[in-house]
């Protein structure tokens, strides 16, 4: 019965998808993907379902992702016969992993993770991390202030979600550990600030992609639109992004939790165990066991200087990398802008958007590591040989993260080839009441993002569909803005819930938390915020309620849920 109700829901709204098939739908050949979607139909869901279910059952992410990939490559090789499909599926699996590593963007992200692992190891060996922890511990006098510091730091690193996940956790982990805050809660704070703030920041590595989708959507209607102005206009309608940031503050201030997070927080407070028994944190002992020698004088500048080098280097790198890409392109207007007004807000925004974030962050992390080596050697904390060994030790601690990312990207590639997203969007048919469209787009984006583990891909799938559909129903600006906002924020919600999402993986790694424990505890909170988003956000917005009324009411409703369903953490 439950299955029939779900299918009835999908069928009721499939008109949304059958309007068009966007060129950005799949990186794989869309003709082949469409043929696979038509052939396998609901079976295209097998790879993500296998990976997700096994991840929760076995608590082994590598095994689960491997099984998910193989189930997909096996299906893609079935034309060779069942027996041969086992061999063909294994060979194709190898090709997918190699292809994921060969992709310049993916390679840059892996190198970035490894370089930041080396940087954090050096900072720890110098005593910088311990000094920061002790300094913050004096200010963070309790669990509330410690969580608020982590939240605020997440807001400060607004320019990129990857940089956010990889920076906030290592800095705040010693502080939250000392205050007996669970690693699950720290991972939630990191994940809950990373993509949500990067997605709505006026300048970030997300902005150009989002603006590009908006511009293409309007161009398809024959409308010349100010895409950046439209992007800014969607920010008040990004209800999930805003509400989850509010929710993090509410849990920290009220010290109330519910669901699996309550169990995790009470365990940490009462026993001091920031990790559950049997947990497998996404960081090896190499990154968490580095302590400075007793003779080392603790100095917070040994952490501040390398970390600020990373952050400032990323900012500078985003600008010059993007500027180089623009100046080497054929957009005369942008070239003229960067020539005449290189320091203007518009020029900086465009340069950030055109930059290759994966390469820039790797370069910034590598340079910060060199700065950390120079600092340590100049203070006679360690020799060059020890510094290099320490850096390598930190790199080794994050090799498992690189493996998991490669497998997650490989699974995403297989899902694209199978036409999983095409199947999901093709099963929807029938007209819908106009006021429900924003909520339906949000839910659909969530489902696709959860199944595929990618918010960017989901945005690329839905934006070319949502814009023409919303315009056909009601071309009024406010209605268009709320539907565009629903696409952008629904993709982030689904990504938050998915254990195969790269940002979820990186948040687990940054907090040194068991990945499945992070996903399991965050899932309940993300779904809660999403339900409030739909009921108190997109449905009232679709009915014409002003956003200045919606946001306070939705925030109050979310706090009310926490008050009535949450329980004090300290209570036995």
Q: What is the mean pLDDT of residues 120-141?
A: 76
Write out the H or E segment, with its range, that includes residue 178: helix 161-178
What whole-number distance in Å separates Cα of residue 198 and Cα of residue 159?
6
Provide mean pLDDT across the span 241-247. 96
Mean residue pLDDT across the chain: 81
Q: Could you write out the DSSP letters of every residue in 42-64?
A: GGGGHHHHHHHHHHHHH--HHHH
Place of tokens 């409308």: 223
Comparing 23-37, 227-241, 298-312, 327-341, which segment has the lowest mean pLDDT? 23-37
Rg, the chain, Cα only: 23
Least reliable range by pLDDT among 127-136, 202-211, 212-221, 361-370:
202-211
pLDDT 10s digits, 6-49:
333 333 333 333 333 333 333 456 777 778 777 888 888 888 78
Q: Which residue has the higher pLDDT, 183 or 505?
A: 183
What percentage of the chain exceeds 90 in pLDDT? 24
Backbone angles phi, psi at 281, to 5 degrees: -60, 145
Is the pLDDT at 154 greater than 50? The verdict is: yes
Mean pLDDT of 271-296: 72
Which two tokens mark 513?
């938390």
Q: What pLDDT score was predicted for residue 22? A: 32
Q: 514 pairs with which residues across the strands?
A: 281
**Structure confidence at residue 457 (pLDDT):** 67
DSSP assignment of 490-503, as one string? HHHHHHHH-TT-HH
Please report the pLDDT score of residue 195 as a whole number.
87
Q: What are phi and psi of 186, to 5 degrees?
A: -65, -45
Residue 101 confidence (pLDDT):
82
Cβ atoms of 528 and 248 within 8 Å: the answer is: no
pLDDT band at 307 (very low <50, low <70, confident <90, very high): confident
Using CA atoms, how far residue 162 sits from 109, 165, 198, 242, in Å, is: 9, 5, 9, 19
- Which percentage of the chain shows pLDDT scores above 70? 85
- pLDDT at 132 exceeding the cut of 80: no
Check pLDDT > 60 for residue 233.
Answer: yes
Distance CA 539, CA 241 (A): 17
Instruction: Give the H or E element holding residue 522.
Output: helix 515-533
CB atoms within 10 A of CB 197: 23
The token duo for 37 is 């979607």
Nearest to 128 by CA among 361, 385, 379: 379
Q: Which of 431, 441, 430, 425 is nearest to 542 (CA)?
A: 441
Across residues 531-546, what is the average pLDDT? 95
| 501 to 10, 115, 406: CA distances (angstroms) | 24, 21, 11
Chain centroid to CA 178: how far?
A: 27
Of the candidates 137, 132, 113, 130, the one whose C-alpha atom is nearest the C-alpha of residue 283 is 113
What is the per-residue pLDDT for 425? 59
3-state SS of 276-317?
Answer: CCCCCECCCHHHHCCCCCCCCCCCCHHHHHHHHHHHHHHHHH
Q: What are 205-229's pLDDT values in tens digits?
A: 576 667 777 877 787 778 877 777 7
pLDDT above 60 for 272: yes
Who wins on pLDDT, 393 or 11? 393
């Amino acid at each position: 019965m439950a299955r029939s109700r779900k299918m009835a829901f999908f069928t009721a709204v499939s008109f949304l998808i059958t309007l068009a098939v966007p060129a950005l739908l799949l990186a794989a050949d869309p003709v082949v993907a469409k043929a696979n979607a038509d052939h396998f139909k609901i079976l295209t869901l097998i790879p993500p379902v296998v990976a997700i279910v096994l991840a929760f059952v076995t608590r082994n992410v590598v095994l689960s992702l491997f099984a998910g990939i193989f189930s997909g490559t096996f299906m893609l090789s079935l034309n060779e016969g069942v027996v041969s499909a086992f061999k063909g599926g294994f060979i194709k699996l190898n090709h997918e992993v190699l292809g994921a590593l060969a992709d310049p963007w993916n390679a840059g992200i892996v190198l970035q993770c490894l370089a930041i692992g080396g940087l954090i190891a050096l900072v720890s060996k110098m005593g910088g991390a311990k000094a920061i922890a002790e300094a913050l511990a004096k200010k963070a006098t309790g669990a509330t202030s410690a969580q608020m510091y982590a939240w605020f730091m997440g807001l400060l690193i607004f320019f990129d979600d990857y940089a956010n996940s990889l920076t906030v956790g290592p800095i705040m982990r010693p502080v939250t550990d000392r205050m007996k805050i669970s690693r699950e809660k720290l991972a939630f704070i990191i994940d809950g600030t990373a993509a949500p703030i990067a997605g709505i920041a006026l300048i970030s590595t997300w902005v150009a992609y989002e603006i590009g989708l908006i511009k293409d959507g309007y161009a398809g209607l024959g409308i010349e639109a100010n895409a950046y102005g439209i992007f800014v206009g969607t920010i008040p309608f990004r209800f999930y992004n805003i509400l989850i940031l509010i929710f993090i503050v509410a849990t920290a201030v009220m010290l109330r939790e519910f669901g699996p997070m309550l169990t995790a927080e009470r365990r940490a407070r009462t026993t001091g165990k920031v990790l559950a028994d049997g947990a497998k944190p996404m960081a090896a002992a190499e990154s968490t066991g580095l302590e400075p020698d007793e003779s080392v004088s603790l100095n917070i500048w040994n952490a501040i200087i390398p970390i600020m080098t990373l952050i400032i280097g990323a900012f500078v790198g985003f600008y010059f990398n993007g500027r180089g890409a623009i100046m080497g392109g054929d957009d005369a207007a942008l070239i003229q802008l960067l020539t005449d007004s290189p320091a203007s807000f518009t020029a900086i925004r465009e340069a950030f958007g055109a930059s290759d974030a994966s390469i820039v962050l790797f370069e910034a992390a590598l340079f910060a590591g060199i700065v950390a080596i120079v600092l340590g050697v100049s203070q006679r904390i360690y020799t060059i040989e020890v510094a290099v060994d320490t850096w390598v030790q930190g790199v080794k601690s994050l090799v498992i993260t690189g493996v998991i990312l490669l497998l997650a990207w490989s699974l995403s590639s297989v899902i694209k080839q199978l036409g999983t997203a095409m199947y999901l969007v093709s099963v929807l048919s029938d007209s819908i009441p106009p006021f429900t469209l924003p909520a339906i787009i949000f839910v659909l984006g969530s489902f696709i993002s959860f199944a595929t583990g990618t918010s960017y891909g989901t945005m690329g799938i839905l934006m070319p569909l949502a814009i023409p559909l919303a315009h056909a129903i009601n071309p009024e600006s406010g209605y268009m803005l709320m539907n565009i906002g629903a696409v952008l924020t629904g993709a982030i919600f689904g990504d938050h819930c998915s254990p195969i999402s790269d940002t979820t993986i990186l948040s687990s790694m940054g907090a040194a938390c068991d990945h499945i424990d992070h996903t399991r505890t965050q899932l309940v909170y993300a779904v809660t915020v999403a339900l409030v988003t739909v009921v108190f956000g997109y449905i009232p917005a679709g009915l014409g309620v002003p956003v200045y009324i919606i946001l306070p009411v939705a925030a109050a409703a979310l706090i009310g849920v926490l008050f009535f369903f949450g329980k004090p953490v300290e209570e036995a």
